Amino acid sequence: MSQNSAASAPGRSGTRVGRPVGRAGSHWARLLEGGLLQGGVQGSPVLRLILRWVRRPLLPVMRLWRRNIQLRVVVSTLLMSLGVVLLLGFVVIGQVRNGLLEAKVKASQSQATGGFAVAKQKADEVVTGTGDDGSAADGRESQNVIQWMSDLVASLSSGGQGAFDVVTLPAGGNAGGGRGPRASGTVDPTASVPEDLRARIGEGTTAARSYTRIVYKTGGKAPQPGLVIGKQLNDPNGDPYQLYYLFPLTQEEKSLSLVKGTLATAGLFVVVLLGAIAWLVVRQVVTPVRMAAGVAERLSAGRLQERMKVTGEDDIARLGEAFNKMAQNLQQKISQLEELSRMQRRFVSDVSHELRTPLTTVRMAADVIHEARGDFDPVTARSAELLADQLDRFESLLADLLEISRFDAGAAALEAEPIDLRDVVRRVVSGAEPLAERKGSRIRVVGDQQPVVAEADARRVERILRNLVVNAVEHGEGRDVVVKLAAAGGAVAVAVRDYGVGLKPGEATRVFNRFWRADPARARTTGGTGLGLSIALEDARLHGGWLQAWGEPGGGSQFRLTLPQSLDEPLRGSPIPLEPTDSRRNRGLHDAGGPRDGDKRATVPAQPPTAPTPLPRDPIVPRLAMVPPTADPTALPGSGARVVARPAAGARRAEDTAGGAGDAGGPDGAGDVAGADSADAAGEAAGAGSAEADTAAPDTGGPDAPDAGGPVPDAPSAGTAGAAENAENAENAENAENTDGPAEDAGRPVAETEPGRAADGRKSEVGPEGAQKEHGEAFRGR
Amino acid sequence: MMSFMKGRVLVVDDDTALAEMLGIVLRGEGFEPSFVADGDKALAAFRETKPDLVLLDLMLPGRDGIEVCRLIRAESGVPIVMLTAKSDTVDVVVGLESGADDYIVKPFKPKELVARIRARLRRSEEPAPEQLTIGDLVIDVAGHSVKRDGQSIALTPLEFDLLVALARKPWQVFTREVLLEQVWGYRHAADTRLVNVHVQRLRSKVEKDPEKPEIVVTVRGVGYKAGPA
């Protein structure tokens, strides 16, 4: 490994694990997923596909990395310690090598310097010796030099057999005259001396050194690293030649590799041990944490007696203690609540029993007296009749009260099985026939060709439907009552439509309030406990279903029960639109060729399934703001006109009366134009109409909704429906009666549109409520 | 056989006013009521008076109604009608499972009570000799006995009626409402839990393996039918 990579490796791992361990993983994962894998390839589906394909096998690993803190810590520790060990190793090895080579170089240099001196001296000796001979023959001369050279090499290398070798090379390109390369031992003279060293030496007369690989001519001996020191000298003839000392570094090499091996072994041990230590240490911390997580999971699953084991006094123990304290408190509170609920249930049950037993006696006595009333004088006889009648009422009131309190105590249990709603409807209708005959109306059943099966509690569903049908007959003013069945999209619905007095704006929600009565003046004549619809609503909620009402003044009303086909599936819509297709608005739209809004309303939301019914604030709310619908000529049944049929007029009226309430007619047109199912409610919300509604409108999501609140009463198309219409469509809005003005009403709701979601239903329909209120104001003004 | 229409009725109720009122009503209808106000004494009174029917309040001092019901049922198949102030599922089902044939929720109308009592006493007015088989069971309607391989199986009158009703028309599936009308004498739809509980009780006696019924088969979503004859 090069120095460079050695330096970078720890650096890299350092940046990676140098962060807090907990965040490092997520950060990297985010970077990887967000920046690298998604952000970078937006707009290129092919690339994204490839990346996804590449990513897939990595996913389990990434998940493990994200989820396992122990793994993260151990891996980080391993990487960090590996980096440290590598850095350390390279530093140590570098120093050892430098030390070894320095010593070698020093020794070699002194050796070589000595050798060069000897060679020079020998050459000088020959020169002085032969100088006496004068001119010897040239052939002899070269012969002599060859011999001299060989002798020189032999004598120089004789001192260090194995410790060094001696090589002579001709200087420059002059290889003639017997000055060919020579070497001691089996060293290959030319291959062992690097070219650049030869060049350097040829330039001057100083000694130079270099590292090289000593190559041997004879096989068997592998080339080995060595130090070469050379100098250019003159031979006895005065010709230059190069003398090299070659010092093999075998020993140093051995020492170095020994050090390297030792360091590597030690480093490996250190890394592995550090990893193991990290694993152990993290385990010490993680095990209690995991235990706590497990205990917390079991606690939340309802096993309240679960506790953590606490040992010692460290942080983990403190965590455990705190956790246990929390669990203890939780358990206490829960058992307190359970106890309260149990007591409440017990109380209801006891009251029920204690009241019922004497009531039974009274009831029987009253019946006996009633039977015998023929023998009494008229006053006593009438008294007996009243007694019996009122006992009936008392009884049903008691039964309803107990039923409601059972719901409130959460003691109502659902006994659901697949039932065919047609059977239930048949039973209910045949039960209501006598009453219908008395009232002079007929009950028609529509949509009972196919089975309408749902998982439901037959007893409760029958109670709901009986309530709806009897109500419809009682308020139907002798006109027909239509019971419609349908099943679609995982839901079944039964709608009960009557053509009686209908509901005034805002009443569609209030009908479900406890003890609420449509008309205080009529209240006592029609009987009923005032709890029927509240119980029906609770029954519907128990099924995860919806019970909603729609009505228009003088145009009758429709109550719709929607139940999920299977209990574990949430409702998303209803097969029957809440507003019947023969409502005056829909007929008006149809006549004008406008969009049939009614068909789209199939997905209008319902009340939140668990929201408690508002407590009965006032048993009977005097609705002074309302004038009787008959006083409004446009609201007469069968007139075919909308309450605010002419938008300009409607708007003017609204302006006149509600003071700046502005565009009462226009907005719903916008809602209609918006068209989409989900925008429907938005349109209605915007239909609140007042300028102030603007604040709420942008949130409603209907694309045209913001325009809807426009203060200018721009006359919309024929599809216009008035705020009054919206008001009538209100299903479950909060009662607005206590608020001061329309502006507040319209502004209060932050209407959400997603009408398909039941949970949002309440919110999303507060808008219409505002509209109702406003409409109410308009009414009052007229 | 028995004196149908008129009969002895044992009223087990701790509320003296109600008991007295019940007495007035029952006497007015021609029954012979006798009274016991304590759960502990109920069994002794039952043995002594040998009533044709027991009216049993669920909440009693001493032994509670459920316990009394179980004790009476252990030694007799006499019809038991529970009086209960609780129409909650659990209470009713527990009462029915302890052996009651029928129940009536307070407050009730005298006529309703009398109708229920009559329905329970009106069984087999003219038992024509009739032999039915259902599975490997042989039912002697007149002799009021059910036998499997010559071994007779003890059933309460109500269970017997339920079995006979199913066995007479083995090809027909009975809805719970129809069974309520035929066996219990309800003219209007009532609590179908009555049927469920009694079918379970019947099965526990006549089926070889009550988990896999072969005599009384459930037809899901509809009701019950007699198994393949």
Residue B212 lies in a domain: yes
Q: Using an 8 Å CB-CB cutoff, list chain A residues near B109.
A: 363-364, 367
Q: pLDDT value at position B128?
A: 63
Q: Using an 8 Å CB-CB cutoff, list chain B residues near A417.
A: 221
User: Is B166 in the same domain as B90?
Assistant: no
User: Is B154 in the same domain as B193?
Assistant: yes
Q: Using an 8 Å CB-CB cutoff, list chain A residues near B221.
A: 417-420, 453
Say how far apart CA B84 and CA A357 lie, in whole Å: 9
Q: Using an 8 Å CB-CB cutoff, list chain A residues near B111.
A: 367
Range in A319-328, A337-346, A637-646, B104-113 the model is least confident about:
A637-646
Q: What is the DSSP string of B131-186?
A: EEEETTEEEETTTTEEEETTEEE---HHHHHHHHHHHH-TTSPEEHHHHIIIII--
The closest alpha carbon to A414, from A547, A540, A543, belongs to: A543
Partner residue facing B106 (CB), from A356, A413, A462: A356
Partner residue facing A360 (CB), from B18, B189, B221: B18
Query: Which amino acid, A223?
Result: P
User: Is B104 in the same domain as B145?
Assistant: no
User: Is B87 in the same domain as B178?
Assistant: no
- The whole-number average pLDDT for the span A714-731 is 38
- Looking at B121, B143, B160, which one is the last position of a domain? B121
Closest chain A residue by Cα to residue B89: A413
Q: Which residues pair with B175 in a beta bridge?
A: B223
- The whole-number average pLDDT for the span B179-208 is 80
pLDDT band at B197 (very low <50, low <70, confident <90, very high): confident
Q: How far is CA A638 from the centre of its chain?
A: 52
How far is residue B220 from each of residues A248, A415, B173, measured CA to CA in Å? Answer: 98, 15, 10
Say how far apart CA A330 and CA A326 lie, in whole Å: 6
Q: Could you tell me the pTM of the whole model?
A: 0.48
Sheet architecture: strand order including A481-488: A443-446, A481-488, A491-498, A556-564, A546-552
Residue A578 has pLDDT above 70, yes or no: yes
Helices A59-67, A21-30: inter-axial angle, 10-degree rounding: 150
How far is residue A52 from each of residues A29, A38, A64, A457, measured CA to CA in Å? Answer: 15, 9, 18, 48
Torsions phi, psi for A560 (to 5 deg): -125, 125
Q: pLDDT value at position A593?
A: 55
In the block, residue with structure tokens 């010559």: B150
Residue B53 lies in a domain: yes
The answer to whether the Cβ–Cβ distance between B106 and A358 falls below 8 Å is no
User: Is B195 in the same domain as B100?
Assistant: no
Query: Which amino acid, B175?
Result: T
The answer to whether the Cβ–Cβ distance between A395 and B85 falls below 8 Å is no
Contacts of A83 (CB under 8 A, 6+ apart): A9, A10, A11, A12, A13, A14
Say how far apart CA A163 and CA A59 lie, in whole Å: 61
Q: What percent of chain B has pLDDT over 90?
A: 11
Residue B84 lies in a domain: yes
Q: What percent of chain B has pLDDT over 70?
A: 90
Segment (H or E) for A594: none
Residue B2 contacts A, CB cutoff 8 Å: no
Tokens of A397: 């009131």
More reliable by pLDDT, A620 or A478: A478
Q: What percent of chain A has pLDDT over 70?
A: 64
Q: pLDDT value at position A153?
A: 82
Contacts of A192 (CB under 8 A, 6+ apart): A167, A183, A212, A213, A214, A215, A226, A228, A246
pLDDT band at A701 (very low <50, low <70, confident <90, very high): very low
List the 342-371 stretch of A: residues with Cβ below 8 A of B. 349, 352-353, 356-365, 367-368
Residue B38 lies in a domain: yes
Under DSSP, is residue A243 helix (H, G, I), strand (E, B) or coil?
A: strand
Q: Using an 8 Å CB-CB cutoff, list chain B residues near A565.
A: none
Say how far apart CA A364 and CA A371 lie, in whole Å: 10
Residue B200 has pLDDT above 50, yes or no: yes
Tokens of B145: 């006995």
How far is residue B31 from each of residues A435, A436, B24, B109, measured CA to CA in Å? Answer: 35, 38, 10, 17
Residue B106 lies in a domain: yes
Partner residue facing B86 (CB), from A352, A368, A431: A352
Residue B2 lies in a domain: no
User: Is B59 in the same domain as B153?
Assistant: no
Q: Using an 8 Å CB-CB cutoff, list chain B residues near A420.
A: 221
- The whole-number average pLDDT for the span A608-616 is 39
pLDDT band at A632 (very low <50, low <70, confident <90, very high): very low
Closest chain A residue by Cα to residue B189: A427
Q: Is the peptide bond before B107 cis (omega within 30 degrees of 0)?
A: yes
Q: State the first-to-last Cα distance of chain A, in angstroms, to the nearest integer.
A: 95
The answer to whether the Cβ–Cβ distance between B106 and A427 falls below 8 Å is no
The answer to whether the Cβ–Cβ distance between A367 and B111 falls below 8 Å is yes
Residue B196 contacts A, CB cutoff 8 Å: no
In the block, residue with structure tokens 């002794």: B44
Mutate to test the interface with B, among A357, A423, A452 (most CBs of B within 10 A): A357
Q: pLDDT value at position A537?
A: 92
- Looking at B91, B121, B151, which one is the last position of a domain? B121
Residue A71 has pLDDT above 80, yes or no: yes
- The whole-number average pLDDT for the span B70-95 is 81
Q: pLDDT value at position A494?
A: 92
In the block, residue with structure tokens 């993983």: A25
Residue B24 lies in a domain: yes
pLDDT, tens only, B137-150:
888 887 778 888 88
Say how far apart CA A49 and CA A70 lie, in whole Å: 33
Residue A770 has pLDDT above 90, yes or no: no
The closest alpha carbon to B181, from B160, B155, B167, B161, belongs to: B161
Say how far apart CA B34 and CA B51 lie, in whole Å: 9
More reliable by pLDDT, B163 or A175: B163
List the 21-80 stretch of B: residues with Cβ below 8 A of A. 21-22, 24-25, 28, 59
Say how far apart CA A417 and CA B192 lie, in whole Å: 12
Range in A517-531, A748-762, B147-161, B195-209 the model is least confident about:
A748-762
Residue A751 has pLDDT above 70, yes or no: no
Say how far apart CA B216 and CA B227 lie, in whole Å: 6
User: Is B98 in the same domain as B14?
Assistant: yes
How far is residue A412 from each of residues A51, A257, A337, measured CA to CA in Å? Answer: 54, 84, 17
**Pairing outcome for strands B145-148 and B151-153:** antiparallel
User: Is B93 in the same domain as B190?
Assistant: no
pLDDT, tens only, A324-355:
898 889 888 888 888 888 887 777 777 777 88
Under DSSP, is residue A462 helix (H, G, I), strand (E, B) or coil?
A: helix
Q: Which residues pair with B151 in a beta bridge?
A: B148
Residue B109 contacts A, CB cutoff 8 Å: yes
The closest alpha carbon to A74, from A131, A21, A9, belongs to: A21
User: Is B222 in the same domain as B138?
Assistant: yes
How far is residue A591 from each of residues A585, A596, A718, measured CA to CA in Å? Answer: 10, 10, 9
Range in A205-219, A518-532, A649-663 the model is least confident about:
A649-663
- The whole-number average pLDDT for the span A129-150 is 60
Closest chain A residue by Cα to residue B57: A357
pLDDT band at B54 (very low <50, low <70, confident <90, very high): very high
Closest chain B residue by Cα to residue A462: B189
- The whole-number average pLDDT for the span A459-481 is 88
Residue B191 contacts A, CB cutoff 8 Å: yes
User: Is B145 in the same domain as B56?
Assistant: no
Say how far apart CA A416 and CA A545 lie, in whole Å: 13
Contacts of A125 (CB under 8 A, 6+ apart): none
User: Is B105 in the same domain as B139?
Assistant: no
- Looking at B65, B91, B121, which one is the last position of a domain? B121
Say how far apart CA A136 and CA A142 lie, in whole Å: 10
More reliable by pLDDT, A269 or A198: A269
Query: To the nearest whole number, what is the mean pLDDT of chain A?
Result: 70
pLDDT band at A526 (very low <50, low <70, confident <90, very high): low
Q: What is the CATH number of the domain that holds B86?
A: 3.40.50.2300
Query: To the nearest whole number, what is the mean pLDDT of chain B?
Result: 82
Residue A219 contacts B, CB cutoff 8 Å: no
What is the complex's ipTM, to 2 decimals?
0.74
Q: What is the CATH number of the domain that holds B210?
A: 1.10.10.10
Say how far apart CA B130 and CA A715 lie, in whole Å: 83
Residue A419 contacts B, CB cutoff 8 Å: yes
The answer to whether the Cβ–Cβ distance between B85 and A357 falls below 8 Å is yes
Torsion region of A8: left, alpha or beta (phi above 0 gives left; psi -120 to 50 gives alpha): alpha
Range of the domain at B105: 8-121
Number of independent structural domains in chain B: 2
Burial of B51 (0-12, 13-18, 19+ CB in 10 A): buried
Q: Using an 8 Å CB-CB cutoff, list chain A residues near B86.
A: 349, 352-353
Torsion region of A509: left, alpha or beta (phi above 0 gives left; psi -120 to 50 gives alpha): alpha
Torsions phi, psi for A716 (to 5 deg): -85, -175
Residue A304 has pLDDT above 50, yes or no: yes
CA distance B29 to chain A (A): 12
- The whole-number average pLDDT for the span A166-183 is 69
Tokens of A103: 């010593």
Residue B120 has pLDDT above 50, yes or no: yes
Torsions phi, psi for A466 (to 5 deg): -60, -45
Residue B110 contacts A, CB cutoff 8 Å: yes
User: Is B98 in the same domain as B164?
Assistant: no
Closest chain B residue by Cα to residue A426: B189
Tokens of B221: 């979503």
Partner residue facing B21 (CB), from A361, A418, A462: A361
Residue B6 contacts A, CB cutoff 8 Å: no
Q: Using an 8 Å CB-CB cutoff, list chain A residues near B24.
A: 364, 368
Torsions phi, psi for A444 (to 5 deg): -105, 140
Q: pLDDT value at position A95?
A: 92
* Strand ranges in A450-595 using DSSP code E only, listed in sequence order: 453-456, 481-488, 491-498, 546-552, 556-564
Say how far apart CA B128 and CA B142 lie, in whole Å: 6
In the block, residue with structure tokens 């084991």: A309
SS3 content of chain B, % helix, strand, coil (to 5): 40, 20, 40
CA distance A356 to chain B (A): 6
Residue B126 lies in a domain: no
Range in A326-340, A650-664, B9-23, B206-220 the model is least confident about:
A650-664
Torsions phi, psi for A493 (to 5 deg): -145, 145
Radius of gyration of chain B (CA): 17
Cα torsion A83, A88, A91, A94: sign: negative
pLDDT band at A658 (very low <50, low <70, confident <90, very high): very low
